[in-house]
């Protein structure tokens, strides 16, 4: 789950900064200069530009943020048998999936976890935690690696980037529409943009961004089932189920940080907060996988 939370957090920050910058630099006023009405076409065009720009900037930064934020140690030259096995397994799965060889790394976390990220299918990073290597056997780790390679092969980060771009566009557009209505209709301001516009726009942008995150997390949970199926096809169905059951045995697997959360291997559930989780409950994933016709 590590990968997506970092992606969403970065995207949210970029979106908020760009929104404030549009106001400070007078872009909003410029778009409204055509008259006293709401410049629908102009604001929608800028919303798309900033919305998709913010999403793909987050995507472009994903590997850098992973390496720095999670302190991933990239395996340049394997120094032991475990590292050699990791690299060779990822290489084998990458060839089977017809994607470029991802970078392979290890990050220090006691809980078993892993994630994949990157700008494209041929420029990705697959990283595993130290806890994964110590608490799972080779077959289970192999299944987890298959799961992460499936995320890369399915183009999940690009798909999430496109989805986030669409959501960002609506967040920016609707927040400005809400600000306009409050400023002009409720507060009766007829000169440019008043304080009501700026305050309302920021509040709406924050609230709508939270709603957009819920939608993105729902979509991520759907993609997680596909990644489980992909992992089962690469490593074997029994190994994938064993890996998921092993995660159930661990005391409350921790979600990964930031955008990486949605494309990790584990995730927690917690009542209402499940709406903001990028992974379905493990028991649902196991049942789904057991029902698939995969050897």
Strand-pairing partners, residue 124, are 118
Matching residue, tokens 């940080």? 257
Classify 120 as helix, strand or coil. Answer: strand
Give the up-direction half-sphere exposure of residue 67: CA atoms within 13 A in the CB hemisphere. Answer: 12
* C-alpha distance from residue 292 to each of 11, 145, 213, 232 (Å): 35, 19, 29, 10
Give 137's DSSP letter. Answer: -
Do residues 146 and 154 touch, judged by C-beta distance below 8 A? no
Q: Which of 292, 58, 248 minimizes the C-alpha distance to 162?
A: 58
Element (H, E) at 125: strand 123-129
* Ramachandran angles phi, psi of 27, nearest 5°: -65, -40
Active site residues: 148
């Amino acid at each position: 789950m590590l990968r997506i939370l970092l992606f969403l957090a970065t995207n949210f920050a970029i979106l908020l900064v760009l929104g404030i910058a549009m106001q400070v630099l007078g872009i909003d006023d410029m778009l409204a200069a055509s008259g006293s009405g709401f410049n629908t076409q102009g604001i929608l065009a800028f919303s798309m530009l900033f919305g998709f720009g913010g999403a793909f900037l987050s995507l472009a930064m994903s590997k850098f943020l992973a390496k720095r934020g999670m302190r991933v140690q990239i395996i340049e030259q394997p120094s032991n048998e475990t590292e050699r096995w990791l690299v060779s397994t990822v290489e084998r799965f990458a060839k089977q999936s017809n994607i470029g060889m991802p970078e392979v790394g290890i990050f220090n976390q006691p809980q078993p976890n892993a994630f994949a990220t990157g700008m494209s299918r041929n420029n990705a990073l697959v990283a595993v935690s130290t806890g994964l290597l110590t608490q799972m056997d080779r077959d289970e780790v192999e299944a987890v690696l298959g799961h992460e390679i499936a995320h890369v092969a399915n183009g999940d980060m690009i798909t999430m980037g496109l989805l986030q771009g669409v959501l960002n566009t609506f967040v920016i557009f609707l927040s400005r529409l809400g600000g306009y209505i409050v400023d002009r209709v409720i507060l009766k301001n007829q000169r440019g943009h008043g304080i009501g516009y700026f305050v309302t726009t920021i509040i709406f942008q924050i609230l709508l961004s939270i709603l957009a995150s819920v939608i993105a997390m729902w979509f991520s949970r759907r993609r997680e089932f596909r990644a489980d199926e992909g992992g089962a096809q690469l490593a074997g169905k029994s190994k994938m189920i064993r890996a998921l059951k092993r995660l159930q045995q661990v005391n409350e697997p921790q979600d990964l940080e930031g955008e990486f959360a949605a494309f990790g291997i584990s995730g927690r559930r917690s009542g209402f907060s499940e709406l903001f989780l990028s992974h379905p409950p493990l028991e649902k994933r196991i049942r789904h996988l057991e029902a698939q016709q995969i050897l």
